[in-house]
Structure 1
Amino acid sequence: MAADPTPNPHATAEEVQAAFADPKLANVLYHDWEAGTYDEKWSISYDERCIEYATGRFKAVAGEDGWPYETVMELGSGTGFFLLNLMQGGVGRKGFATDLSPGMVEVALRNAKGLGLDVEGRVADAERIPYDDNSFDLVVGHAVLHHIPDLPAAFAEIRRVLKPGGRFVFAGEPTKIGDTYARKLGQATWWLTTNITKFGPLRSWRRPQGELDESSRAAALEAVVDIHTFDPAELERTARDAGMVEVNAVTEEFTAALFGWPVRTFEAAVPREKLGFGWALFAMKSWQRLSWLDEKVMRRVVPRQFFYNVMIGGRKPL
């Protein structure tokens, strides 16, 4: 087996320029650059808060039948948020973290070691998964499908590496309508925050807007790493066309997304030290209450395609 490539967190200007025409290269360079700070950026932890979140997403699609799965592979594992928290929550025993970014695989394995979890890692292209047929009882992913150029090819590969009757679960994918209003809310919040903080005593709240230096030029690739948004019915069709059965898509976050995206953008636009524990508690509690409202009330009256996140699960036939 060939050795995995090494992380490249400091892309050259030439590499970044080439990546604008190559979505896979863009994802490698961008996520290698983000790997070291990704958990902090997205408030990822490996405690009860994120264990409950990860297992809650899984249960919403797949229930609790079949736990624990003996072998669990995650596509686009990033730093391990979904896989490691699912394992801690009792969903799986042996983990396999795969990602196109060597930097993300490196951090995921470091996190797994710190948690005492049995996890192997490999750099992997979702369209050509480097494992044998019928290898895994469960394949999972979180916020990965929208990065994959050829989604039908990826689902065909997922089906190939699953054991007969094996399950797949993907969560955290943006819907077409949800992504539209989230982007507009984010853009409006960014414009308002960065302009208001130009004046008077609010200048101390303005995050420096200087040119990217050579250590962070890959940040410019954020605009090209997201390839797809999804209609839930179309995503179900893609999985069924790959030969999957018991396919089911569930959506979540409507009022929670309308609140969460402006909050997240505001947090990115001001210096981190200006926002203390009180703000973090307010943001988290508000999001949790609105998520409850979405699940208990809004899901009954709002069509599923209007929610921000789509989750999908199903099985490989026996």
Structure 2
Amino acid sequence: MTARPDDPAPNPHATEAQVQAALTDNKLAQVLYHDWEAETYDDKWSISYDERCIEYARGRFDAVVPDAPLPYERALELGCGTGFFLLNLMQGGVAKSGSVTDLSPGMVKVATRNGKNLGLDVDGRVADAETIPYDDDTFDLVVGHAVLHHIPDVELALKECLRVLKPGGRFVFAGEPTTIGNIYARRLGQATWKVTTEITKLPFLKDWRRPQEELDESSRAAALEAVVDLHTFDPTDLEAIASRVGAVEVRAKTEEFAAALWGWPVRTFEAAVPDSKLTMRYRLAQYKAWLGLSKLDEKVLRHVVPRQFFYNVMITGVKPGAAAK
């Protein structure tokens, strides 16, 4: 249930000098940024390990693998973050046991702690997705959420996924930004941050302003974010990469158009104001709005809007061999 004792320790407070060094060292940037985010990441993104997020994680899985005979025996998560995707998939009956890996020691620490608190059969390792530290044919399932766009060599990482999968094993990656979706999401987020941080300078809105040191630290993290987000994907191109490394039964699906246009300003606003202002009633209202817009995307807009305009892309493929799940 714990990370390996020989893994490096987290570094949650990067200095300005370290940030500057990371601007020319991508993997250092990945570690610093995600170590900085680890302890607050679940709150920032409203991540939980209850029915709401179990349903979300299982929904992403079922969207690209609607007929898998479950559960898988052993699963691996790459770029696990706080464990959101695999831990909720395990709670949703997708896998019996799991291993969480991330380049960030801070994220592995939080993910394994979350797994322990949930009573799940999970171990963790600090690991590079381009050189996965497990033997060939080890796992039945490899998953990841919002991780491929952080990996310098996506094709190499997918080759590694096939290597550690058993014949017939499957990989499922979700939450990856499309090229077009990333453009409007970033612009909406930047505009929302600027407006919110400027307006809350007004005296009568001072209670809505985070302390300046927190805003400054967020700005430093944002500078690293521009470095760690390496890729965006066209769904067809991502399918081609997965096929090129030898996967079969490859397919991509996109989601979130109206939901992304709404969600990015909301998430950015929430990051710019004190948590105390975000009541449970407010959070529930935003969640219901996102659900409604997601249904609009799925029921209506996906039939009229080209798939590359949606914000998120999911990809799955199978290692050739025995009958795939």
Tell me the TM-score normalized by structure 2.
0.93
Tell me the residue number matched to 1:59: 62
Question: How many Å separate the matches in 2 of 1:304 and 1:65?
Answer: 24
Tell me the residue number matched to 2:108: 105
Task: Work out which of the residue numbers 16, 23, 26 in structure 2 matches 1:23.
Answer: 26
Is the 2:215–2:272 contact (alpha carbons within 8 Å) kept by the matching residues of 1?
no
- Matched residue of 1:193: which SS? helix
Is the counterpart of residue 313 in structure 1 residue 316 in structure 2? yes
Is the 1:12–1:214 contact (alpha carbons within 8 Å) kept by the matching residues of 2?
no
Shift of 1:185: 1.1
Alignment gaps of 5+ in structure 1 = none
Shift of 1:103: 1.1
Tell me the residue number matched to 1:82: 85
Is the 1:10–1:218 contact (alpha carbons within 8 Å) kept by the matching residues of 2?
no
Shift of 1:212: 7.0
Task: Work out which of the residue numbers 82, 95, 105 in structure 2 matches 1:92.
Answer: 95
Tell me the residue number matched to 2:303: 300
Question: How many Å separate the matches in 1 of 2:68 and 2:241?
Answer: 24
Task: Work out which of the residue numbers 169, 190, 195 in structure 2 matches 1:192.
Answer: 195
Note the alpha carbon deviations across 1:200-226, whole angstroms, 9 max, x for none.
Answer: 422332233348789996564222111
What amino acid sits opposite 1:239 in the alignment?
A
What amino acid sits opposite 1:279 in the alignment?
Y
Tell me the residue number matched to 1:143: 146
Shift of 1:151: 0.7
Q: Measured at CA, do residues 22 and 165 of structure 1 come closer, stay the same or move farther in structure 2, by a change above 3 Å?
A: same
Tell me the residue number matched to 1:258: 261
> Which stretch of structure 1 is more off in the superposition, 268-277 or 207-216?
207-216
Aligned-residue RMSD, C-alpha: 1.9
Is the 1:185–1:262 contact (alpha carbons within 8 Å) kept by the matching residues of 2?
yes
Is the 1:142–1:173 contact (alpha carbons within 8 Å) kept by the matching residues of 2?
yes
Is the counterpart of residue 126 in structure 1 residue 129 in structure 2? yes
What amino acid sits opposite 2:259 in the alignment?
A
What amino acid sits opposite 1:299 in the alignment?
R
Tell me the residue number matched to 1:45: 48
Tell me the residue number matched to 2:273: 270
- Matched residue of 1:120: which SS? strand
Shift of 1:251: 0.4
Shift of 1:158: 0.7
Question: How many Å separate the matches in 1 of 2:279 and 2:163?
Answer: 47
Tell me the residue number matched to 1:221: 224
Tell me the residue number matched to 1:230: 233
Task: Work out which of the residue numbers 208, 212, 236 in structure 2 matches 1:209.
Answer: 212
What amino acid sits opposite 2:189 in the alignment?
G
Question: How many Å separate the matches in 1 of 2:179 and 2:211?
Answer: 32
Question: How many Å separate the matches in 2 of 1:210 and 1:290?
Answer: 35
Shift of 1:260: 0.6
- Matched residue of 2:93: which SS? coil
Question: How many Å separate the matches in 1 of 2:232 and 2:278?
Answer: 31
Alignment gaps of 5+ in structure 2 = none
